């Protein structure tokens, strides 16, 4: 029974069918990027087992997603290897090629699960030790410990659901979520009925948040609005509006301590600093189209006694501490840079797998060439 199952799984027809479905999925996802954006299109089509289709009765599975197709291709190639392939001297190259392709599929799946992307914005002369997400936000609660040191608590957006109570051991109060809008429109002194929640304390007391559909395009940002009631041992501190559309933090005093609250892009801190020494950009003659832009940066890592000067530009990233810093964009003022920060624990796997594939193909080619010359000499 096991041999029969493996023989069925190793069918070449299944291989061709999966490759055709993968090609169609890539085409559809590429077209969907126009409206959804790169990250949302990847999430809906490639990071799922099934692509879901909305109907009036709910969502239904439409076709296999990229994750399922990758798993099936891996199992198909693995089954074909064990049922059809026999290790002989003449097939060492083909065997290595098969294992290289298997490693390539595993590496792609591992990278899709573990890799993260964010952006680091640095102005000339500034040093930064964090990057920010382009999609996700968080609530940052800060308390000053000393004039040069703050304690920062980061609470992810996923915890803010209507009716939930958010707590953290480092803050002496809880936050009861009255309402949470993933996207909203803020309006000052709007005349509305009593159906919408409103803040009683802070700058949000004069602002109304209207829920809006979520946008996923890369060139748009959602204005998150969360209404929370802050409760401590001293009692209720009122209802607050927390939003990344306010443009400034708000402060609440609890037990004699001042806590600053702001919703901002989710941050990823690194154990070192990057200082932008100089940002330069060149344009094509008589145009405003950038031809080249580069960032001269200085890396400071006192813990490992590392001081490094380097220049980041197109196709010349900085790799350090498991992260890769690419030149992505620049500020509108021309004096700041935007670096794309990629942390991918499996970044070496594609290089290793491609090396194994190349070695296998070379061995197979040389072996076939040797057998060809032997047959030619006999004839």
What percent of the chain has pLDDT above 90?
60
| Confidence (pLDDT) at 307 | 94
Domain spans, the chain: 2-115+348-378, 116-128+269-343, 133-268
**pLDDT confidence tier of residue 138, bands split at 50, 70 and 90:** very high
Mean predicted lDDT score pLDDT of the chain = 90
Q: What is the pLDDT of residues 178-224, one digit of tens each?
A: 999 999 999 987 776 667 888 999 998 889 999 999 988 877 889 99
Mean pLDDT value across residues 242-266:
93
Given a cut of 90, whether residue 263 has pLDDT beyond it is: yes
Give the per-residue SS3 of the chain: CHHHHHHHHCCHHHHHHHHHHHHHHHHHHHHHHHHHCHHHHHHHHCCCCEEEEEECCEEEEEEECHHHHHHHHHHHHHHHHHHHCCCCHHHHHHHHHHHHHHHHHHHHHHHHHHCEEEEEEEECCCEEEEEEEEEEEEEEEEEEEECCEEEEEEEEHHHCCCCCEECCCCCCEEEEEEEEECCEEEEECCCCCCCCCCCCECHHHHEEEEECCCCCCCCCCCCCEEEEEEEECCEEEEEEEEECCCCCCEEEEECCEEEEEEEEEEEEEEEEEEEEEEEEEEECCCCCCEEEEEEEEEEEEHHHCEEEEEEEECCECEEECCEEEEEEEECCCCCEEEEEEEECCCCHHHHHHHHHHHHHHHHHHHHHHHHHHHHHHHC
When pLDDT is cut at 50, 70 and 90, the band that residue 235 belongs to is very high
What does the pLDDT look like over 74-106, one tens digit per residue? 999 888 888 877 778 888 898 899 899 999 999
């Amino acid at each position: 029974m096991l041999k029969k199952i493996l023989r069925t799984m190793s069918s070449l027809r299944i291989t061709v069918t999966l490759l055709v479905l993968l090609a169609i999925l890539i085409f559809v996802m590429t077209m969907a990027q126009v409206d959804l954006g790169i990250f949302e299109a990847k999430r809906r089509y490639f990071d799922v087992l099934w692509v879901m289709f909305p109907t009036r009765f709910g969502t239904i599975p439409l076709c296999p997603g990229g994750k399922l197709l990758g798993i099936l291709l891996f199992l198909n190639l693995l089954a074909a290897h064990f049922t059809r392939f026999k290790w002989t001297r003449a097939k060492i190259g083909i065997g290595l090629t098969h294992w290289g392709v298997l490693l390539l599929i595993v590496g792609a799946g591992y990278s899709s699960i573990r890799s993260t992307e964010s952006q680091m914005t640095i102005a000339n002369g500034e040093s930064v030790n964090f990057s920010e997400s382009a999609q996700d936000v968080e609530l940052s609660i800060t308390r000053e410990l000393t004039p040069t040191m703050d304690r920062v608590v980061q609470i992810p957006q996923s915890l803010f659901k209507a009716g939930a109570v958010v707590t953290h051991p480092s803050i002496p109060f809880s936050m009861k979520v009255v309402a949470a809008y993933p996207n909203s429109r803020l309006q000052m002194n709007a005349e509305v009925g009593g159906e919408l929640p409103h803040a009683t304390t802070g700058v949000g007391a004069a602002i109304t948040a209207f829920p809006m559909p979520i946008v996923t395009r890369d060139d748009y940002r959602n204005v998150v609005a969360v209404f929370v009631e802050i409760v401590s041992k001293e009692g209720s501190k009122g209802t607050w509006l927390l939003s990344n559309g306010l443009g400034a933090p708000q402060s609440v005093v609890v037990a004699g301590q001042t806590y600053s609250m702001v919703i901002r892009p989710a941050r990823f801190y690194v154990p070192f600093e990057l200082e932008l020494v100089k940002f330069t950009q060149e344009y094509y003659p008589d145009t405003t189209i950038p031809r080249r832009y580069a960032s001269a940066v200085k890396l400071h890592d006192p813990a490992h006694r590392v001081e490094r000067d380097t220049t980041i530009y197109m196709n010349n990233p900085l790799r350090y501490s498991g992260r890769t810093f690419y030149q992505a964009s620049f500020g509108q003022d021309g004096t700041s840079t935007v670096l794309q920060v990629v942390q991918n624990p499996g970044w070496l796997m594609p290089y290793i797998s491609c090396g194994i594939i190349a070695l296998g193909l070379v061995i197979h080619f040389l072996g076939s060439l040797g057998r060809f010359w032997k047959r030619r000499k006999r004839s």
